[in-house]
Structure 1
Amino acid sequence: MIGALSFAAPAVLAGILVLPALYFILRAMPPAPRRQVFPPIRLLRMLAPTAHTPVRMPLWLLLLRLVAAALLIVGFAGPQIVPPPILAGRGPVLLAIDNGWASAADFAARQAAARRIADEAGRRGVILLSTARAPDGKPPRPGPVLGRDAALAAIGGLHPEPWPADRRADEAAARAARRAHPGLTAVYVADGLAAPGLDAFLAALRPERIVTGSIATLRLLDDAGTAPDGAMRARVRLVPRPAPVSVPVLAEDREGDALARAIVTIRPDHPTGTARIDLPFALQARVSRLVIPGEDGAAAVALLGGASRQLLVGLAAGGTADAEQRFTGELYYVRRALPQGARRLAGSLVQVIGADPGALILADVDLRPEAVARLRRYIAAGGVVIRFAGPLTASRPDKLNPDKLLPGIRDLSGPLAGGHPETIAAFAPDSPLAGLKLPLDAHIRRLILPDPAQLAPASVWARLADGTPIILGQRLGRGALVDVLTTANPDWSDLPLSAAFPALIRTLVHLGAGGAPSSGRLALVRALDGAGRLIPPAAAAKPLDAARMRHVAASPEHPPGLWGDTHGTVALNLAGHVPKLAAASWPALVPVTGLDAVKRARRFGPDILAAAMALLLFDMLATLWLRGALRIGTLRIGAILGAVSLCLWPSCIPHARAAPPEAALNTTLAYVRADDPATDRIVRAGLAALTAAVNAETAAVLGPPRGVVPGRDDLDLYPLLYWRITSRTRPPTPPVCAALDAFMRGGGLLVIDTDGGDAGQAGSGAGFDPGAQASRRRVTSCLSLPPLRPLTDRDTLAHTFFLLRSFPGRFDGAPVYIAVRGGRDADGVSPVVIGANDWAGAWALGADGTPLFALLPGMPGQRQAALRVGVNLVMYALTGTYKADQLQIPAILQRLGE
């Protein structure tokens, strides 16, 4: 090795000793004689030569060949720059690699560092030790001594696990490796995270070097929470940093479509940050997980079970109009007992069941036969119905409950019943109420009774102290029917006043399909792997008790994922039992190397051999020229090769002539660049999908869309300019406004769109981006926009290619505006189109061709209709009022008929 330079085959360098001999050989060998046709030369053939003058090879050609030969020798010797050595000692190398959840973010870099160490170990052998337990539950163990190739293959087969490293088992494995190989050299590729048992593991391992990445990039997404008003909350944890950190979080549905995006801002020197995710209830019920985009690993995913989503509870009461009356109303105490964040919908039975709530609470509602049939279908589909008794129910029992209820009221406080109310006894051990605190302060005075001849014992979930049933329940299909045989207000009992009443209601409303099971043994439905993907459960996964769900940490036996049964699921996430994140402290005398500093050798052999081949090619052309063998065709070939060689030389590149803009050669759609990179990515993906649709459906051929900055880029090259405005868009500068005005005056079509609107506005995007409409008015106030009117299906824009009746995007229902007739150009084309349906969000596709966002309300064909709107916008920008005559077709047909 010469400094950091070494050779893979240094013996080949001995060929340099042959170069002096090669010099004299080439010097003595004359070049081939040049052939020249000269007829009088025949007279000289009869003369006898008296002297011979040797012709020697030109010096420049000789040096060229010597340099080419030297480059071939050096290239075959394999020159390379080798980084400073990592390993010490001479024994086998114990390579410990962290592959717990904290290593997933930069696991590829850890594998690259491990390969570099295995390369350097060479014939010494490598013993691999991965610190996390395997998916089959086996603890970490040191492997056998592997050769270089086997070690590289084993390193490539490692992958991160969705649970932390097992430091106790790691310590035992390190001690076992030390006992088996006393002279080994230990190197630790660490995740850099402090954890219980790490110091004991380091003491047993005694590493000669520690290789670790930056702990500052580690982010952990906590379980999704719910705000008091029902909004979803995202919480991110990290190692405190001196500067503020912004972390984007996406709310996705089961298909991976992004439904909402929030930014979690973590203040300096703080370990956590929280952000609200505002979604309408229809979409919040579809959220299946929160993710940190662009990051791999279980730490960047928070799954949502049935209890994590906002619950819609329907409330209906019969008999009186003052069901919400304070202290006496039939729904007053039920409303106060609902889970925090649950959305409440009160009204008639027809109104509330039409909203498809997750749970339905009926307070003394008299059910007609058609209502009974509808409720049965609702329960079978996964809903839960909770019925409270009352005078109406007692006078006219219905047939909803398979356990027949008897007419009449039993008065426990009357003289015939002993004159004292009864309390509730222990809940049935096999009922969903098992484990709840008994309402000892609840005295039942009156109730209705089930028919004992038709009562199934399994349907009794709670009894009074004298054995009288008070709560009946049973599963029907995917849902549940629960009968509380007393009133929902204090008229018949003190149960609504009991401290246990909220827990009772909270348990009952989650009994439907998609709710969180609160009792019984739960099986693993889908597991979360180390890369943050849902996979089928492994054989090592064991059922767990739903009552202990909050106390279970992620492990091979209980991996993070979705647990439950056919009636619902509950999410077990990684973050539930991860302690406070902090950087690990390393032993003072052990050198610590960053992942970026561990690099593999850089080889120059192929580059040097390529240079030698280029010199040999030049030598061939020079030899042909000296022999006079070059013809016109050969000269052309040589000129081409020479020009290519010169243009490949780096110094030639800066002098290359600037190519014309791509938009000048191909028709291209453009968009106004935003301050937010995420918005640019969405718009670029949307316009790319629209471009593909236009190229497939029409005769137009569009190039890839481009982002532009008005006032700096030339907008005259683009027929259509898309501008997506959000609540965070800043007002443009005067040069930007002037450039946009000039673009519209010059015949361009400016399409202004938003990613949602304020709550209460028209369209299904209401509430998605509060402040977007005000931002649009503020941002466009500097533009010289013409007077506007709503777009209808009678306008040319609705007929330019497809016949459109509506103009949906990701949302539907928001009006679209175009210029009035007096505000258009000479051809009658509106210079601006303004919408609020988020067309780009509907068009956008991911790298795998799947849509990036779900649609609302998600009607059949809505995405195809949104693409057709985009195609019409492009054709409107390209052809103007070419299809305006279609608007006169009805009148023309009428005249023809006449």
Structure 2
Amino acid sequence: MTALGPFLLGAPWALAALVALPVIWWVLRATPPAPKDIELPSLALLDGVEPREETPARTPWWVWLIRTLAVAAAIIGLAQPVYAPGARMETAEGTGSLLIVVDNGWASAPRWPELINAASATLDTGNRDAPVHLLLTAPQQFNPDPAERVSRADMDKRLSSLRPQAWAPDRQDALKRLKDSGFNPDRIFWASDGLESDGGQAFATELANMAPLTVFAGPPPGAAVISGIQAQTDSVSVTARRASPRGEATGFVSALTLDGSALATAPLTFADGETEAVADFRIPAAALARIARFNVTGQQGAGTVWLWDSSDRSRRVGLVDAGSASQPLLSDMHYIRKALEPFATISEGSIENLVAASPDAIIMSDIGQILPHDAELLHKWVEDGGALIRFAGPRLAAQGDDLLPVALRRSSRALGGALAWDEPQAMAPFPEASPFAGLNVPPEVRIRQQVLARPGPELASKTWARLADGSPLVTADQRGKGTLILFHTTAGPDWADLAYSGTFSQMLRRSIAAGRGEAVNDAEGSYSPLLTLDGYGRLSPAGPNAAPLKATDFGTVKPSEAHPPGLYQGPAGTRALNAGAGERPVLIVNWPVSARLLGDAEARSLRLAGPLLGFAALLLALDLFIALSVSGRLPRFGRKAASAGILLAAGFLVLSAPQQADAQAFQYELMPDGSYRRVTTEGRTIRLPNTPGTSQKEVNAALDMRLAYVETPDRALNERTRAGLFGLSNVLRLRTSVEPAEPDGINLETDSLELYPLIYFNIPDSMPPLSEAAITNLNTYLRSGGALVIDTRAGGTIGTETDVSRLETLLEGLDAPPLQPVGENHVLTRSFYLLDDFPGRYAHRRLWIEQAGDASAPRGDGVSRLFIGDADWASAWAVDDRGRDLYSVDGGEQQREMSRRFGVNLVMYVLTGNYKDDQVHLPALLERLGEGEDENAPGSPTNIIDGGPQ
């Protein structure tokens, strides 16, 4: 390299060509542009005249100026000039080997491009043939050997490919690697982060003692690191530090979700002379639970990111919902979810999936039957430290299990029940030994119904909350390392008003904390890397070099390549390892006297060869264009060309007109919320996307409402059931607005049951018990709002009682609620027709449905999802393809008609719920009944159809 002031020339001899510029200028000046050829009609008079040679005019000055500048730019560009303000003239010291030292820790990330640019600029100084060596201070498994000799071109590529690491540099380790390599450089350039971390000043002194040292220090501007946070219930304080205390500085800290969505931003203000500032977030607790990380806005780097793990952020709770997903606002889980959202991370799923995720607590609402496989998983999970919180309800009152803290009586106590209260009970003050001690007891809360614990000597010690009469309201018991907790009433308002009070949320929170435990002892747990930060502060999946961490190592281990900062998954959820935890960045102020410090301007370099050669090429292209234009070689656009262009544009518009018309074939539809939706007026067929594993049968069931029946080993019975549902579908299409498609036969183990609003299960005479998979699917179906009709077809026997002895074995494990016969005023008797009986092939049989608990406060939406009878309704409904009845009915056609009316009522009840239970309809119905008595003949039927007479 040859220095010429702040410029360095890689090929200085190329500038010798500049002496030819005067000759080039003289030649270009004397050579005019080529003349234009123009034919004029008057030139025919000059035919035969001898031509005379004339001297052309001189080239215009702006033409030869363009050409001279192009040649000069090309010559200077070939000299490979570099603008380097920090370059020195070559000396004896500058001709030897060069060692480039780069701080590539997290503190270098904010000014990483400047550090790399400074290191690349020093390659342009000294002898081009001198060897270059590289030393990185952040420890890595495959750090380059400082003794490795690299050419300047390869070193430039290597520097460009470097990236900052997410951990701090270890300068002592770098110095040891340099000494162990035995390499003695002739000069050293250090691209430093400018911080006194890990002995920065001592490291600079050691380098200066080895060889002449040049340093470019680029400390991070503004907030350098987030060093810690303090969290409260509805607020978080983020502490950030900077390196330089001079002057005032203002920044911002953003609160982000795990996917990067910003929830809030708080200002961060550093006072003059202060290196620490605090950003305060005051946001609702529900939004606070969603925050996963904090980041200094506009400042890249792992040090300016703070990951908030689940142990500090919120508790992890899994919900096993036993309510109706079709009307979630009426389910118990709605109240549990609303109470948990301010302080917990909620996940929902099956028991198997939730146990595998190992949350802090699992909550179940009114589940009376737990499948053996799930019960085994829960037993192990609780014994390993899990907290199982359960709420009572009619199912749990009817059938309990051993995953309860106390033994229960097989009935519930309610107003007017067998174990009756005179009035609803209030809550008593919480015992001092209870986790609820100190909470305010809401005086307005009343308990109307509960499940009772069997008396025992240990009952008092297991009671966390009582009613005013002393009966337990909340009980708990230790099982292994975990805890079983039972609320003896429902989570919703069916049995009590507790869900409406603020105390409910606090009781849940303390229940989770008191019974939390962890899957294993945290001191013995191991956490595997889940997501890690790179040097720029970006989250990504953990790499192959990331190793697990023991729980006891958090808080003591420093981030490294083996343990990069990030989120680690373990038995207690996620734990965070942050690069800036506890860091206090300090500037290096005492540099070695012999070291040369470069400022920002001196450390920069700009290679000018490319821009100069590009400028020369641009000028030559401009000159060529001028020459072609003057010589008449460029096309001229006359009238014909303009006409052709206009025709071409018109043709384009004509061709695009149908597409535009199609695009405008829309109209607007008024939506219920007052907004408008654009809809197309052209009939189109939209193909549904093909989902892998979806059968055509499932697609058809999703597109058209269908009734379904369970396929049994008895093929003849299956055909009878299909014919019965086919006949009922025909009646529905003729008499109501419900238009079912043909019924489907389903397999309880493999088919998607949720696609069907009603499933008819005709029990054959001999059928093996249902498998565990079938019972699981049925339980899920019933909890999600499906309706199951079970027909034992045993109505031909004497008596009106339904024989369910076969069902106990066949449906073992089905989470069935307590049942009751349909009452006279039940909505099922008037959902479409007015009925007083539910006959099928056999008349005067009882129909059993889900017990509502209390007539004044029906459970959920009051709609039963389980129907059990023995009247053989399918036989009474069955018709062939031509609509002819297939089977006889005991009571003749009148009974068959009443059976069909019951089928209509049943489907309307399942689809529409209990809207007819509203007393608003009662006056109109009584008025119509009165008119019917006056106007109809004595022999005419008096049954009334909703919407008109039969």
TM-score by length of 2: 0.46
Q: Which protein has the larger Cα radius of gyration, Structure 1 or Structure 2?
A: 2
